Structure 1
Amino acid sequence: MNLTRLIRCTLLLGLSAAGALFAAESKPASRVTVVFSHPEKFTDLRDNASDSDNERGRARYLPPIEEYLEQQGESRLAPGQKLTITFTDIDLAGDFEPWRGPQFNDVRIIKEIYIPRLTFSFKLTDANGQVIKEGERKLQDMSFQMRIDGIRDDPLRYEKGMLGDWLRDEFRPAVAKN
């Protein structure tokens, strides 16, 4: 095998591998769109006590919320339907208590007084873009610590629990009439 042929084979293998990697990483467009409107102004997305502008918290908490809603919402939609959810405020369960000392700056304290709150609007459309259902919701869970669903180590288990309840209640499958 001459050098030119070896270089061509190497390039082709490299391009094939890159194409396969790109194809594996690209996912089909979700029918659920999640928008975070001015997240820097949200009540609470702080990653620690010094994250006063929610910058690190946005990077940590918003992608999992978006991914959760995309996954859970897809299963609730009829073919052709699209759902857009626009968050205007998020207040996570728990809070930081800086008076406990610097060793607690990265510890979110979960107490019944620090309830999770989510404020958002939503719009459900059909395949033709006609609005089927829309509204605004302000979710809060005063008994969030009593939840037994969710993954214990998930820092968003309370918020995901509220969103899962909302999706189940808001988008119940249509009952077939006989």
Structure 2
Amino acid sequence: MRSKPLLPLLLAAGLAGGLLANHDAAARLRYVTDADAPRALAAAGPVDVRWDDPANFAEIRYSSNRIESRRGDWVEQLARHVRDYAAPRLPAGERLEVTLTDVDLAGDYEPWRGPQFLDTRFLRDIYPPRISLQFTRTDANGTVIAQGERKLRDPGYLIGTSLVSNDPLKYEERMLERWLARELPAPARSVSTR
């Protein structure tokens, strides 16, 4: 009977052990309320976005499934969307600072439907998306052009929607885009007079 060489078996076992250790670390769930979770986007460009502690957001405080509501990096995704949408709309030299102070995502969990639906978010008119924020817009000299607090809400988010997307934040992103379009109207295009 011929025996298999020991070295390849040891290497394979070591590699499998390393992969499993890395998989366990990667499989650890991330929550928006983790102590090491960011509370602002890294500085990049003319738009700074930060957010208050998500543990105090209505999405988590009033959720019927606080574990699912805390899961992921949805606050950071919303902040990136604000930055990416607003940056090209700002005239040269202007800056925009936005702080998300409260978020309640579209839909909610309905635990009375049974254990098979504990992690299912139901979209209904009674669960519209809501976002509260504060903002400051400044010119190139640092003079405040506009500032304030806004409470965004879209009670008709399900009506006439043609959003064919798997993005779970599509309703909140659309609501933020509408707000930014009002605050930062697109620059007028020059018309050629030939």
TM-score (norm 2): 0.69
Aligned residue for 1:82? Answer: 95
Q: Residue type of the partner of 1:49?
A: N
Aligned residue for 1:33? Answer: 48
Q: Which runs of 5+ in 2 are unaligned?
A: 1-41
- In structure 2, the CA distance between the partners of 1:98 and 1:175, relative to structure 1 (3 Å rule), is same
The higher radius of gyration belongs to 2
User: How many pairs were matched up?
Assistant: 149
Distance 2:141 2:98 in 1: 18
Say which SS state the counterpart of residue 73 (structure 1) adopts. helix
Segments of 4+ moved more than 6 angstroms: none
Q: Which runs of 5+ in 1 are unaligned?
A: 1-26
Distance 1:177 1:154 in 2: 35
- In structure 2, the CA distance between the partners of 1:151 and 1:177, relative to structure 1 (3 Å rule), is closer
Retained in 2: the 8 A contact 1:48–1:108?
A: no
Aligned residue for 2:159? Answer: 146
RMSD over aligned CA atoms reads: 2.6
Q: Residue type of the partner of 1:80?
A: G
TM-score (norm 1): 0.74
- Amino-acid identity (%): 38
- In structure 2, the CA distance between the partners of 1:93 and 1:130, relative to structure 1 (3 Å rule), is same
Retained in 1: the 8 A contact 2:89–2:187?
A: no
